[in-house]
């Protein structure tokens, strides 16, 4: 264990969490054999040492970026909401590491991890949080609305479940345009009771859209536990739509990759949609405005942080594999901290958008006056 990197493993036993977590059954409606050891799954066995270290590095960069953003928020550099992904890193990194050129990603408002996982740079991401013109959305979107169409990343959406029909639409376009690709439409466990999500499930199954609905089940929709909000097994709702489904442990990046790889192949080759529920945990509140002291115990959080942390676990795995040394892990961590600090400096030094920027990026036509075909006023006083 690299103490420079992460908190040491606890020496005392913590009480059991008061909230009973989902039992990960790894049940799936597909018949494919699952490897016992996910490291041996072909998609993981094919990874080079450098690629494995890259997965680790991306997870560390997400965590350090978010920790730095939290400090900036506490320092009143960031407005609005800040929904942190800390604890869930293996999910976005595992899933996005599988993307081919015609695979697409869309997610909800806890979107920083996916943005970094698809390859967005930290500087524009941090600058967006600071509301700066150099932000990835020019300071117009904020924390919940990161986008990178050039990296097949379609947001970053604020309304719970509202992005899921769009995800089905990405898959529809991929299929309509005859490309071999798929969409991964991420949502939290709180989204599964929204009507738009079920409408998208039905369309995907009905029209064989190559979309994987990924439920990142962190146990809580804001402050309401799964037991208090959702009946049944979340992914199993797929059976009502004759759709494939699966579950996996989101603390193990190998398992996430092995599971998603199987469903992606189904989507790519047979246009089969699926629901995959990935068991995960967030250490921070729903947003930084959540005092996080009413609906779960500190002991529960500590249990995950200390014993089920995806970065710690993957570090241990890579050390055991001989792919990573403690020195390299420490260096990666140091670099991630420095990169995040640099991003904060970049954001701090960047200019805010001006009042004149408020009315750009509203209409394509207004932004392309030479190509404008309509007439009349687009904006009003």
Partner 1 sequence: MSLITYREAIRHALAEELERDANVVVLGEEVGQFHGAYKVTEGLLAKFGPNRIVDTPISEAGFIGMGIGASMLGVRPVMELMFWSFYSVAFDQILNNAANVRYMSGGQICCPIVIRGPANGGTNVGATHSHTPENVLANHPGVKVVVPATAADAKGLLKSAIRDNDPVFFLENTILYGEKGEVPEGEHLIPLGKADVKRVGTDLTIVTYGRCVLHSLAAAAILEKEHDISVEVVDLRTIRPLDIDTVLASVKKTNRVLIVEEQKPFASVGSQLAFMIQREAFDDLDGPIHRLATIDAPAIYSPPVEVEQLPNPQRVLKAALEAVK
Q: Which residues bind partner 1 (CB under 8 A)?
A: 104, 106, 135-141, 145, 147-150, 154-159, 162-174, 176-177, 183, 195-196, 198-200, 202-203, 206, 360-365, 367-368, 373-381
First to last CA, the chain: 61
Closer Cβ to partner 1, 6 or 154, answer by number: 154
Closer Cβ to partner 1, 157 or 282, answer by number: 157
Shortest spacing between CB 178 and partner 1, in angstroms: 11
Closer Cβ to partner 1, 159 or 327, answer by number: 159
Shortest spacing between CB 23 and partner 1, in angstroms: 31
Closer Cβ to partner 1, 157 or 262, answer by number: 157
Shortest spacing between CB 124 and partner 1, in angstroms: 10
Facing residues of 274 across strands?
212, 244
Closer Cβ to partner 1, 3 or 101, answer by number: 101
Cα 277 from Cα 215, distance rounded (Å): 5
Shortest spacing between CB 173 and partner 1, in angstroms: 4
Shortest spacing between CB 82 and partner 1, in angstroms: 16
Listed in sequence order, the residues at least 6 apart from 375 whose beta carbon sits closer than 8 Å to its beta carbon are: none
Shortest spacing between CB 56 and partner 1, in angstroms: 30
Contact present, 5 and 223 (Cβ < 8 Å)? no
Shortest spacing between CB 282 and partner 1, in angstroms: 23
Shortest spacing between CB 177 and partner 1, in angstroms: 7
Closer Cβ to partner 1, 147 or 304, answer by number: 147
Closer Cβ to partner 1, 131 or 285, answer by number: 131
Task: Provide the 10 A C-beta neighbour count for residue 289.
Answer: 12
Contact present, 65 and 131 (Cβ < 8 Å)? no
Burial of 88 (0-12, 13-18, 19+ CB in 10 A): buried
Q: Which DSSP string corresponds to 150-175?
A: GGTEEEE--STTTTHHHHHHHHHHHH
Q: Which DSSP string corresponds to 240-262?
A: GGT-EEEEEETT-HHHHHHHHHH
Listed in sequence order, the residues at least 6 apart from 166 whose beta carbon sits closer than 8 Å to its beta carbon are: 106, 154, 155, 157, 185
Helices 122-129, 326-349: inter-axial angle, 10-degree rounding: 50
Q: Is 156 left (phi over 0), alpha (psi -120 to 50) or beta?
A: left
Listed in sequence order, the residues at least 6 apart from 21 whose beta carbon sits closer than 8 Å to its beta carbon are: 219, 279
Closer Cβ to partner 1, 24 or 196, answer by number: 196
The bridge status of strand 220-221 relative to strand 224-225 is antiparallel
Closer Cβ to partner 1, 321 or 367, answer by number: 367
Shortest spacing between CB 78 and partner 1, in angstroms: 17
């Amino acid at each position: 264990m690299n103490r420079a990197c992460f908190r040491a493993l606890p020496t005392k036993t913590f009480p059991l969490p008061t909230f009973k977590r989902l039992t990960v059954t790894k049940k799936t409606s597909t018949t494919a054999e699952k490897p016992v050891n996910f490291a041996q799954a072909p998609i993981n066995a094919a990874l080079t040492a450098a690629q494995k270290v890259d997965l680790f590095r991306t997870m560390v960069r997400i965590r350090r970026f978010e920790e730095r953003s939290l400090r900036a928020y506490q320092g009143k550099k960031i407005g609005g909401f800040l929904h942190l992904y800390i604890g869930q890193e293996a999910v976005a990194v595992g899933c996005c590491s599988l993307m081919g050129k015609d695979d697409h990603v869309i997610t909800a408002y806890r979107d920083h991890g996916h943005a970094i996982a698809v390859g967005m740079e930290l500087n524009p991401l941090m600058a967006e949080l600071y509301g700066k013109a150099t932000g990835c959305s020019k300071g117009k979107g904020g924390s919940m609305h990161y986008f990178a169409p050039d990296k097949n990343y379609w947001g970053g959406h604020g309304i719970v479940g509202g992005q899921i029909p769009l995800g089905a639409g990405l898959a529809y376009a991929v299929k309509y345009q005859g490309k071999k690709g798929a969409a991964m439409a991420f949502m939290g466990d709180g989204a599964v009771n929204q009507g738009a999500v079920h409408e998208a499930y039905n369309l995907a199954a009905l029209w064989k859209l190559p979309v994987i609905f990924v439920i990142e089940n962190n146990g809580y929709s804001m402050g309401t536990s799964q037991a208090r909000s959702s009946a049944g097994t979340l992914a199993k709702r797929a059976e009502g739509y004759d759709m494939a489904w699966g579950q996996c442990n989101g603390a193990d990046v190998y398992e996430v990759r092995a599971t998603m790889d199987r469903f992606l192949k189904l989507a790519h080759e047979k246009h089969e949609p699926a629901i995959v529920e990935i068991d995960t945990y967030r250490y921070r509140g729903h947003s930084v405005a959540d005092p996080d002291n009413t609906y779960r115990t500190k002991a529960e959080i500590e249990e995950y942080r200390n014993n089920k942390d995806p970065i710690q676990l993957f570090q241990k795995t890579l050390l055991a594999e001989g792919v990573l040394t403690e020195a390299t892990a420490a260096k990666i961590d140091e670099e991630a901290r420095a990169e995040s600090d640099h991003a904060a400096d970049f954001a701090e030094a960047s200019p805010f958008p001006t009042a004149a920027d408020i009315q750009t990026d509203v209409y394509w036509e207004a932004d392309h006056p030479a190509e404008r075909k309509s007439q009349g006023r687009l904006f009003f006083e």
